[in-house]
Amino acid sequence: DRATIAAGHGTWWRLADVLDGNGALVGRTLYAGRAAKTTLTMALGTESMARGPVGGLLVVTNDDGRDGEIRVVDISKGCSWVVHRDANVVRSAILDPASGTAYAHLVQRETRVDLGVFQLSGGDPEAALEQVLQPLPTQADLGRIWATELRLNADGSALAAQSCSDKGCLTRVVAVTAFGRPVSMVKGKANDAVDGQGSIIGFAGDRLITWSFCAGMPCAVQSWAGGAQKPTKLADRAIGAGLTRDGRFLVVLDDLTGRAVRLDLAGNTIATIAGVNPGELPLSPSVTATSGLDVADDQVGFASQGGDPHSLAPGSAAVIP
């Protein structure tokens, strides 16, 4: 419920690489806690990731070279439990805390062939998964897919699976709570800086917010309608972007001024706001993230390199004239 989810706000996590004497990566360590207190430390393999936290819960995937597993971590209680084990590699997972449903992207262990996206079927870690999205068919214009990202919309009714290559991305959105689980696709032009799709930021209602297809920062931020092949540009030269979980506000850091700009996606207004310190960037919920902060639906998490994370409510932030 909402009270339980709100109780987790302020919890955090971070991943630290573990290196051997020759500087080779041999594992990772997960640290999690609240404020200055670390409540949990967990040793992980090199192929591992963490997503969240939401409601104080963190979903973690780990692989020992033989089996993959998905764990849910309760940060405040300092404990974790396995919710799924698989002979294949679990590349990433995402948790809907309201329903308790988790989704996972799997690849075949030996070949790394995409197996699709699955829903965890219950409390038995050995139970078979239920497929909600088939493997992506070959895309001649994109070529080999190197990365897959998962995102849930605000109420958990839609799951986005974004597939990216070095030529761009496409996103399939499956209505996971609808009969038949219909799927729609959002795809731009490959190798196109204007109409190409970059990595996903999140949902804003029924629209997807993504980066444009660009080689580095600064980069444009885009909005995509369902089934669209051309985006709407929201910001031109951003060096960071964060979206509130309710999809109402997008905060971008402008490359030219270094200031935070708030876009009200519902009210169609824009303003420069206070509350973001120099060197800070929005915390990304991507599969490659190394830290996270549990914030309210109307907030965005920020942190600097080596600094403590903090939350910002864009809607109530002071406006800079």
pLDDT of res. 211: 97
- Residue 78: name the closest of 11, 177, 162, 132 by CA: 11
pLDDT of residue 247: 96
pLDDT for position 6 = 87
Tell me how far apart the alpha carbons of residues 149 and 104 are, in angstroms, rounded to a whole number: 10
Which pLDDT belongs to residue 110? Answer: 94
Stated pTM of the model: 0.94
- pLDDT per position in the chain (321 positions), as tens? 777 888 899 999 999 999 999 999 999 999 999 988 999 999 999 999 999 999 999 999 999 999 999 999 999 999 999 999 999 999 999 999 888 899 999 999 999 999 999 999 777 888 889 999 999 999 999 999 999 999 999 999 999 999 999 999 999 999 999 999 999 999 999 999 999 999 999 999 999 999 999 988 999 999 999 777 899 999 999 999 999 999 999 999 999 998 999 999 999 999 999 999 999 999 998 999 999 999 999 999 999 987 889 999 999 999 998
Q: Which pLDDT score, from 0 to 100, does residue 121 have?
A: 73
Contact yes or no for 84/125 (Cβ under 8 A)? yes
Q: Which residues, at least 6 apart from 5, have a Cβ–Cβ distance to it below 8 Å? A: 54, 55, 97, 98
Question: What is the structure's pLDDT at 228?
Answer: 73
pLDDT of 3 reads 79
7 phi, psi to nearest 5 deg: -65, -20
- Contacting residues for 53 by C-beta, under 8 A, at least 6 apart: 8, 11, 12, 13, 32, 73, 75, 292, 293, 294
What Rg, from alpha-carbon coordinates, does the chain have?
Answer: 19
Instruction: Compute the distance between CA of residue 12 and CA of residue 9 in angstroms, rounded to an integer.
Output: 9
Helix, strand, coil content of the chain in percent (nearest 5): 5, 55, 45
